[in-house]
Amino acid sequence: MKKIFSLFTLVLVVLLVTGCGSSYELALVTDFGPVDDKSFNQGAWEGIEQYAEEFNVSYKYYRPAEDSAKARLDAIRIAVKGGAKVVVCPGFSFGEPVFDAQSEFPDVKIILLDADPHNADWSEFRIDDNVMSIYYAEEQAGFLVGYAAVKEGSHDLGFFGGISVPAVVRFGVGYLEGAEYAAREDDVDVSVKYKYLGTFDAKPENKTLAASWYAGGVETIFVAAGGAVNSAISAAEESPGKTVIGCNVDQKDLSEVILTSSLKQLSDSVYSAIKEFYAGDFRGGQIVNLTAAEGGVAMPNDFSRFSNFTKAEYEAVLSKIISGEVVVTKSHEVAIPADLDLERTTVTVVE
């Protein structure tokens, strides 16, 4: 009996050790920050999680040790060593590490969000057959919330961009054009304070700036700046009647002051790309652009925090974007807000 018990114990230990070394087919390498960031990381992770739970596939996330291209590449290597067949890399900072990883791991599929693979000095762009790059029409997403803000009755707006990378610029351009479109419809004048913070982090100085804008009459601030949304939220919570517009994912659970959010359907697009991989239809070597027509960008389906703007108004303007009746400027077509065709919207760029 003792021998049988000892043998059983040995087998159990082996199984436990083997379990500790289990491989994970689906991997997320987060941008530097937590996986539950209520933004880009979380949106991508939820897409992985949804597919994995639905089809019983193992999955795991890996966080870079520091905020650098090398650390991101090292995290990709760890994910592949851990058995990853598909690695999701969310954000423009992954362009350089994926450029190297695509050659190093030709049998691993990489889903790259908001970037093209490029070398360190940006002199070469190359997307191999094992990489699928997904972009989103942020200009359309920004347009929708700018339109909604003015239709709600706000004529003094603010915009916080993190860093002036293409995706953030597109959000800002769309926001201005959406506000302008609504202003022309309603025959009102709109003013917008416009600022790139130089960071995606919540910092005291960002809260101070938001508070000063609110005190000066700004009614709502659209924050396309990652974690810096928490700075604006904190300021709005101390400024009665002021609101914040979230970005990337539905951020309403962060605070009651979140009026709405400008959505990139991150989880849906990641889920779909993984599904294509397992179906043998992975679009490797391709750049996929997801617009409102493909369901790539939108606003949340909850309009309960609006007093005036309605779901019907949202659906009407969304349909105009999808049909092409409304065409929103892409960021590469305009360098600064002053280059936009704005008649009823005055933009003050804050340096």
Q: What is the pTM of this model?
A: 0.89
Q: Quote the mean pLDDT of the chain.
A: 92
The pLDDT-based confidence of 334 (bands split at 50, 70, 90) is low
Main-chain dihedrals φ then ψ at residue 51, nearest 5 degrees: -65, -45
Domain assignment present for 171? yes
Domain assignment present for 324? yes
The residue among 119, 136, 153 that closes a domain is 136
* Statement to judge: residues 143 and 106 lie in one domain: no
The pLDDT-based confidence of 12 (bands split at 50, 70, 90) is very low
* Statement to judge: residues 43 and 96 lie in one domain: yes
- pLDDT for 37 equals 83
pLDDT tens track for 281-305? 999 999 999 999 999 999 999 999 9
- pLDDT for 21 equals 54
* Statement to judge: residues 80 and 163 lie in one domain: no
Domain count for the chain, please give it.
2
The pLDDT-based confidence of 9 (bands split at 50, 70, 90) is very low
* Statement to judge: residues 70 and 106 lie in one domain: yes
Domain assignment present for 275? no
* Statement to judge: residues 307 and 211 lie in one domain: yes
- pLDDT for 20 equals 44
Higher pLDDT among residues 18 and 286, named by residue = 286
* Statement to judge: residues 72 and 51 lie in one domain: yes
CB burial of residue 169 (10 Å; 0-12, 13-18, 19+): buried
Q: Report whether pLDDT(323) > 80.
A: yes
Domain assignment present for 114? yes
Lateral strand order in the sheet of 297-298: 297-298, 258-264, 243-248, 220-224, 156-161, 190-196, 345-349
Domain assignment present for 271? no
Q: Report whether pLDDT(144) > 60.
A: yes
The pLDDT-based confidence of 6 (bands split at 50, 70, 90) is very low
- pLDDT for 14 equals 29
* Statement to judge: residues 89 and 198 lie in one domain: no
What CATH number is given to the structural domain containing 104?
3.40.50.2300
Domain assignment present for 274? no
Task: Report the alpha-carbon distance of residue 8 to residue 6 in Å, rounded.
Answer: 5
The residue among 136, 164, 183 that closes a domain is 136
The pLDDT-based confidence of 7 (bands split at 50, 70, 90) is very low
The residue among 106, 121, 136 that closes a domain is 136
* Statement to judge: residues 246 and 341 lie in one domain: yes
Q: Report whether pLDDT(17) > 50.
A: no
Domain assignment present for 283? no
Instruction: For the chain, give the percent of residues with pLDDT over 70.
Output: 92
* Statement to judge: residues 156 and 303 lie in one domain: yes
- pLDDT for 244 equals 99
* Statement to judge: residues 178 and 121 lie in one domain: no
Q: What is the mean pLDDT of residues 67-80?
A: 97
* Statement to judge: residues 52 and 129 lie in one domain: yes
Domain assignment present for 310? yes
- pLDDT for 16 equals 29
Task: Give the domain extent around 21.
Answer: 16-136
- pLDDT for 332 equals 66
Q: Report whether pLDDT(1) > 60.
A: no
pLDDT tens track for 188-239? 999 999 999 999 999 999 999 999 999 999 999 999 999 999 999 999 999 9
Q: Report whether pLDDT(66) > 70.
A: yes
* Statement to judge: residues 65 and 201 lie in one domain: no
